[in-house]
Structure 1
Amino acid sequence: MGNYIESNLARDEKILERAHVSWMSQIWYIIFGILLLPIAGIGLILILIAIINVWTTELAITNRRIIAKTGLIRRNTIELKVNRVESLGVDQGILGRIFNFGSIVVKGTGGSNAPIPYIAKPLDFRKSVNHYLDELDDKAVIDS
């Protein structure tokens, strides 16, 4: 999959950093899917849920926006201009800390709060986004 972001880029917009869903975040679907495989296809459904979660979730920061998309049949998208981002948070449970995955929570001006779940290496993504936002702030101070 992975073409929603590319197909929705504006003119002169470039992807700076991407984040992907961690397969380890789907471990329970996979384990129970394998265990329940012999039972009327229930296991296959669980394995398909894991695959769909990984293949259909996209997250990226461009030079203009933070863009996220989840879902296959029911699509949920988030597009927030970088100058509207107040902060990026990371939610990680115990397994997320162990296996390095978690939810990125994008907080924008006006109270918008958008969680994007199951992201691999969420602290690295947040660090990259914060670095880019700091560069924009520094450039704004120099230009003014």
Structure 2
Amino acid sequence: MGSYIESNLIKDEKVQYEGKTSIWSLLPKILLGLILLPFYGIGLILWGAAAITYYTTELAITNKRVIAKFGLIRRNTVEMNISKVESIQVDQSILGRIFNFGSVLVSGAGDPKAPIPGISHPLKFRKMFFEVQEGSSTAIPQTSPAAEVA
């Protein structure tokens, strides 16, 4: 588990699912790095950028929030309360379908949108989110009118 997510869990919050960045989503940087490697080592910079993206991106669904953290020095975070999320959209290209990666767009109340690009197994991420959301809903069970009369 990533240190950012663990250090920012609130009281009684537990990680239910942890996502990963797909190495396939970083393929353009890796291939361009391979092509540019002979040119003064510019390819090493692209490989380093791909490695930083892969190792510093943290994605998690907890029983209370969706949390995503991007970046090493410059940090960009997305944290949205599960009860405030209205929809999750998955966007996959043809290569994304073949190699099982894509982007997830989390939409919440008031129409803020939080994109999470290049996630591995985006449909599983969406499914786990809805399972956690369903389990954390605190709906009060209603009794039927017939039960109240008896």
For these two proteins, the number of residue pairs brought into alignment is: 143
Question: Do the aligned residues in 1 keep the contact of 2:63 with 2:136 (CA within 8 Å)?
Answer: no
* Residue equivalent to 2:141: 142
* Residue equivalent to 1:71: 71
Gaps of 5+ in 2: 144-150
CA RMSD across the alignment: 1.7
Alignment of 1:1-144 (within 5 A): 2-137=2-137, 139-142=138-141
Give, in whole Å, the separation in 2 of the partners of 1:130 and 1:9.
Answer: 20
State the secondary structure of the residue aligned to 2:33: helix
Question: Do the aligned residues in 1 keep the contact of 2:78 with 2:114 (CA within 8 Å)?
Answer: yes
State the secondary structure of the residue aligned to 1:25: helix
Give, in whole Å, the separation in 1 of the partners of 2:58 and 2:123.
Answer: 16
Counterpart of 1:52 in structure 2: which amino acid?
I
Question: Do the aligned residues in 1 keep the contact of 2:63 with 2:133 (CA within 8 Å)?
Answer: no
Give, in whole Å, the separation in 2 of the partners of 1:121 and 1:143.
Answer: 37
Identity in percent:
53
Question: Do the aligned residues in 2 keep the contact of 1:26 with 1:50 (CA within 8 Å)?
Answer: yes
Gaps of 5+ in 1: none
CA 1:143–1:45 in structure 2 vs 1: closer, same or farther (change >3 Å)? farther
Larger Rg: 2
Question: Do the aligned residues in 2 keep the contact of 1:22 with 1:54 (CA within 8 Å)?
Answer: yes
Query: Deviation of residue 80 (structure 1)?
Result: 0.8
Detail structure 1 runs of 4+ shifted over 3 Å in the superposition: none
Counterpart of 2:91 in structure 1: which amino acid?
D
The two structures have a TM-score, normalised by structure 1, of 0.92
CA 1:143–1:64 in structure 2 vs 1: closer, same or farther (change >3 Å)? farther
